[in-house]
Amino acid sequence: MERTGIQQSRPTGGQRARFNVLRWSVYAAALLVVIAWAFILLDGNSGFGDLFRERTWQNAGGFIASLAGQGSDGPSPFVQAARWRDTGRLALNTLAMSILAMGIAGAGALVLLMPGARNVSDGTLGGAPSRTGALVYGAVRILYTLTRAIPELVWAMLIVFFLSPGIIPGALALGIHNLGIVGRLTSEVVENLDPAPARALRAAGASSPKVLLYGVFPQALPMFLTFLMYRWEVVIRTTVVVGFLNAGGLGREFRLRMSWFHYEDVALLLVWYLLLVIAVDILSAQLRRRVRWD
Amino acid sequence: MSFRRLQSWLTGPRLLTLGIVCALAWSLSRVDWQQPIAHTGGGAAALKVLLALFPPDLTPEFLSICVVASWHTLAYAVAGMSLAVALGLPLGILASGVLAVSSDGHNPRRWTLMVAVRFLLAAMRSVHELVWALLFVAAVGLSPMAAILAMAIPYAGILGRIYAEQLQVAPPEPIAALRTTGASPLRVLLYGYIPMALPDLLSYTFYRLECGIRAAAIMSFVGIDGIGFQIELSLADLLFRQVWTLLIFLVVLVVAVDWWSSRVRRSMAY
Amino acid sequence: MSAVRPVRTGEQVATPEPLITIKSAAKVYGNNRGLSPLNLAIHAGERVALVGPSGSGKTTLLRLLAGALVPDEGPNSVSINGKSPANLKPGRELASLVGIVSQRFDLVPHLPVMHNVLAGRLGHWSLARSILSLVWPMERRAAQQALARVGIADKINERPGRLSGGEQQRVAIARMMMQSPLVVLADEPVASLDPARAEEGMALLVGLVHSDLGHANGDGRSSERALIASLHTASLIRRHFTRVVGLRDSRVHFDLPAGELDDAVLDELYDLGDGYGDVEPLAGLAARDG
């Protein structure tokens, strides 16, 4: 059922059908929005009414004030070099976790890049179509769907069950989830490649692995790295969340300080978090610009 | 001389590869290799979890829990996304700068506003939705509304940024033609930019809905009902067969939304 | 038209064994005739231009020669140097027999020019060598020489996407030098170039088979080679080719020494291509030869 590309591109009668898909989807989405909000608001405990109570805003103001250090006893962690050093170490662990996660996702996607692309498995890019190729293609696609559909945090919940706390389980959870995302995007890039250069290499006597190496990898690699960088920006934000589950780094500390009501420490951790996010955003933008090499 | 040769050899892709290898090596050096990677008995536990898939818990009572949890997740996702669109669209329009330009040049006040909104959007999407949720819970207490707001803020930040980019790439000729008729920036927006960018705007919103489902699922972490919450409960009770059932529900929900969103996007691909 | 008469070029009459023999090879796609049964013999050293309106069978003929299509009569009805290209698996043997330069040159966009040129050697290299070469280029000097011969030695580290059409064609020709096949096939190699670039490109292409200048590894086989190219420009054909074969309605319409081709012959070929009438005798006449 994946092989219906030719039928889909047939223009006859498509205009009307396309229009209806769009129109009904918009209607359905609007209806879904109304039902969802009705369901949430009609439940007495939605908290919607609280938005208009002064108490709520007073509480929020009090929380922000305590983040800023109001009402805490002892010197602020912001003026203690030791606290900066300790939390800085956690921030570096978080950064390392994000890089390892990208390494896991990247290595996996790179290995599965070829079998996961339809035009490689069916021989369009040179090479012979084979039953094994089709089977492996299907398996890789199912793997991508599963890893992508289950969020990082759920992966982490499962993984901390077997692995001891530290940055490895967090990196693994993030890596598995992002493997599905990066892998699918990259396979789509390979599937949209112009097959002519690969066929020309085939005609020059290159065997299938050589065609992939010279004709497919160099073309897919820039987009692959770009996706990886984009995902890194998301992953650095999520490492903290995965860290909530005893997976090390800033997240674990954040959760602990939160439950101890050490809001000033929470503020310090948030500063590190934001510094990491900004640094990775800038680095990723710079690297992405470098990757555009033609 | 040899340094120069090295410098000329070490460009572009090679430099990038070297950088990636160094980054990975550094990250591995931060792992605490003293302690064992897996728990004692971790392998046996993994096997037990895996075997629980055959079969997952399919009792009617539990399936009805799963259906309710799936509906909660979907409802929170839809509510969060709709709020994100309601916040993100106006912010995106302001951030795109299309209102700051009119036939008689830049409007400096609106230009300042544009820059400010861009910073605001960046700040909103800097913090993960669950971190927002924890902060909200600490500030105003646990409620579905807090979770929806926590989800809507970073999503509005992402949507606003992408909406702004999509408005900016609208073809300039029709816009210029509208301007020559003396239309105000707001009219140019309503009659020019938005109609031209609408397919892209819709397409991206539908694309994000799938991510919204996952975000709603993990909102359980602050105690909101949904698939993630049920997974957490079942894991705590070591009921792995239930975990599998819930995972299947989650995958089916995500795949269904993904299928719908790709249908919509394909229908607008022309 | 009195100019239309089947003639074989004089130069190679003495050569006993043709390099390429096509014996009543035909190709039918569904209801469409790609190529009617066709006979053709081409000797080493010949440079044959294929002319004809689109759909006349030029591309089909080239693909049969490249082994990309199997003739309806079986693979053996096309033979190059005693081998049938359709019988050979893609690989070293086929690559040293025939090579193709396409209209779009088919370079790998993100791969530096150096590796695109070296890709001509992939059929000869082991997999390990191919992998290693991406990190530390093998036969770098040969690639440099090939690029110098086509006049773009300075582009060795560029990416094909940044090159002009003429430069891309030169890279494709340099790759063909590295591949060094007995028969070079070119499908409208200059169609996307302006007249000045087309002239230069054609000269380089001819150099692949005509003189020693063409070959990077200088194996002295240049006099054993042949070039077959499809194109439309009479002046280019007269200057660079020894023989011209006109195809129309998937049949050989004329077969002349290139020097005898004039615009009138070409006009007639293309004009007749619109009708369906009085062409059979001419085609029959041409097909008898060979």
pLDDT of residue C282: 41
The answer, yes or no, to whether residue A234 has pLDDT greater than 90, is yes
- Tokens 């390429």 found at: C20
User: Is A277's pLDDT higher than 90?
Assistant: yes
What percentage of chain A exceeds 90 in pLDDT? Answer: 33
CA distance B81 to B66: 22
What was the pLDDT predicted at C106? 86
Q: For the complex shown, is ipTM > 0.90?
A: no
Size of interface A-C (CB pairs under 8 A): 90
In this complex, the chains that touch B, judged by 3 or more CB pairs closer than 8 A, are: A
**Which residues of chain B does A262 touch, with a Cβ-Cβ cutoff of 8 Å?**
none
**Model pLDDT, residue B102:** 64
**Mean pLDDT, rounded, for A2-25:** 53
Tell me the C-alpha distance between B180 and C181, whole Å. 62
pLDDT the model gives residue C29: 77
Per-residue pLDDT, A280: 94
Residue A126: list chain C partners with CB under 8 A: 90
For B171, residues 6+ apart whose C-beta sits below 8 A from its C-beta are B196
Q: How many angstroms from the chain centroid is the CA of residue C287?
A: 21
A39: Cα separation from own chain's centroid: 30
Question: What is the per-residue pLDDT across C110-153, written as a single tens digit (0 to 9) for each?
Answer: 888 999 999 988 888 888 898 888 888 888 899 999 999 888 99
What average pLDDT does this structure show over A32-40? 93
pLDDT in tens, A104-119: 999 999 888 888 888 8
* Chains with ≥3 CB–CB distances under 8 Å to C: A
User: What pLDDT is attached to residue B1?
Assistant: 52
Residues of chain B with pLDDT under 70: 1, 8-13, 102-106, 269-270
Average pLDDT of chain A is 84
Determine which of A36-50, A200-214, B97-111, B155-169 has the lowest per-residue pLDDT on average: B97-111
Does residue A11 have a pLDDT over 50?
Answer: no
Identify from C69, C89, C104, C111 which residue to disrupt to test chain A contact, counting A C-beta atoms within 10 A and taking the largest count.
Answer: C111
Range name among A279-288, B62-71, B132-141, C204-213 with the lowest pLDDT average: C204-213
- Judged against a pLDDT cut of 70, whether residue C218 lies above it is answered with no
User: Would you list the domain boundaries of chain A?
Assistant: 5-52, 81-291
Count: domains in chain C: 1
Torsion from C-alpha of B153, B158, B162, B163, nearest 10 degrees? -10
Query: How large is the average pLDDT for residues A230-256?
Result: 88
Is C14 part of a structural domain of the chain?
no
C284, pLDDT greater than 70: no
Q: In the complex, which subunits touch A with 3 or more CB pairs below 8 angstroms? A: B, C
Q: Write the DSSP symbol of residue A45.
A: T
When computed from its CA atoms, the radius of gyration of chain C, rounded to whole angstroms, is 19
Q: Is the pLDDT of residue A172 over 90?
A: yes
Q: With cut-offs at 50, 70 and 90, classify the pLDDT of residue C213.
A: very low
Above 80 in pLDDT, residue A129?
Answer: no
- Written as six digits, the tokens of A122 are 């069916």
Question: Which pLDDT score, from 0 to 100, does residue A13 have?
Answer: 44
SS (H, E, C) C20-42: EEEEEEEEEECCEEEEEEEEEEE
- Each as own residue / partner, the long-range contacts of residues C189-197 (CB below 8 Å, 24 or more positions apart, any chain) are C189/C101, C189/C102, C189/C103, C189/C229, C189/C231, C190/C231, C190/C233, C190/C236, C191/C103, C191/C231, C191/C232, C192/C103, C192/C104, C192/C165, C193/C165, C193/C166, C193/C169, C194/C166, C197/C165, C197/C166, C197/C169
Chain C contact for A200 (CB, 8 A cutoff): yes
Domains of chain B: which residue ranges? Answer: 56-267
pLDDT value of position A29? 92
Q: Do C110 and A207 touch (CB under 8 A)?
A: no
Residue A127 forms contact with C (CB below 8 Å): no
- Structure confidence at residue C89 as a pLDDT band (50, 70, 90): confident
CATH T-level fold of A81-291: MetI-like fold (1.10.3720)
Residue C3 has pLDDT above 70, yes or no: no
Bridge-based pairing state of the strands C226-230 and C183-187: parallel
Q: Look at A4-13, C127-136, C209-218 and tell me which has the smallest mean pLDDT.
A: A4-13
Query: Which domain does C116 fall in, by range?
Result: 20-288
> Which strand (E) or helix (H) includes residue C253?
strand C251-257
Mutation pick from A192, A213, A216, A221 vs chain C, by most beta carbons of C within 10 Å, is A213
Q: Which residue of B has its CA nearest to A226?
A: B16
**What value does the mean pLDDT take over residues C256-283?**
66
Question: What is the amino acid identity at position B48?
Answer: K
Nearest residue, CB atoms, A294 vs list C68, C131, C162: C162
C285: confidence class by pLDDT, cuts 50, 70, 90: very low
Model pLDDT, residue C16: 59
Q: What are phi and psi of C79, to 5 degrees?
A: -140, 135
Phi, psi at residue C194, to the nearest 5°? -75, 165
Angle, CA C223 vertex, CA C218 and CA C226 arms, to 5°? 105
- Looking at domain B56-267, its CATH superfamily turns out to be MetI-like (1.10.3720.10)
Q: How far apart are CA C238 and CA C254, in angstroms?
A: 15
Distance of residue A128 Cα from the nearest chain B Cα, in angstroms: 30
What's the angle, vertex CA A194, arms to CA A192 and CA A199, rounded to 5? 130
Q: What is the CATH number of the domain that holds C84?
A: 3.40.50.300
Nearest 5°: the CA angle C117, C121, C124 is 175
Residue of C nearest to A216 (CA): C108
Q: What whole-number percentage of chain C has pLDDT above 70?
A: 83
- Name which of A36-40, A75-79, B249-253, C281-285 the model is least confident about: C281-285
Closest residue of A to C68, CA-based?
A203
Instruction: Report which of residues C273 and A53 the model is more confident about.
Output: A53
The beta-carbon neighbor of C110 closest among A200, A207, A222 is A222
With an 8 Å Cβ cutoff, are A214 and C122 in contact? yes
pLDDT, position A10: 41
Q: Are strands B101-102 and B105-106 parallel, antiparallel or unpaired?
A: antiparallel
- Residue C207 maps to a domain: yes
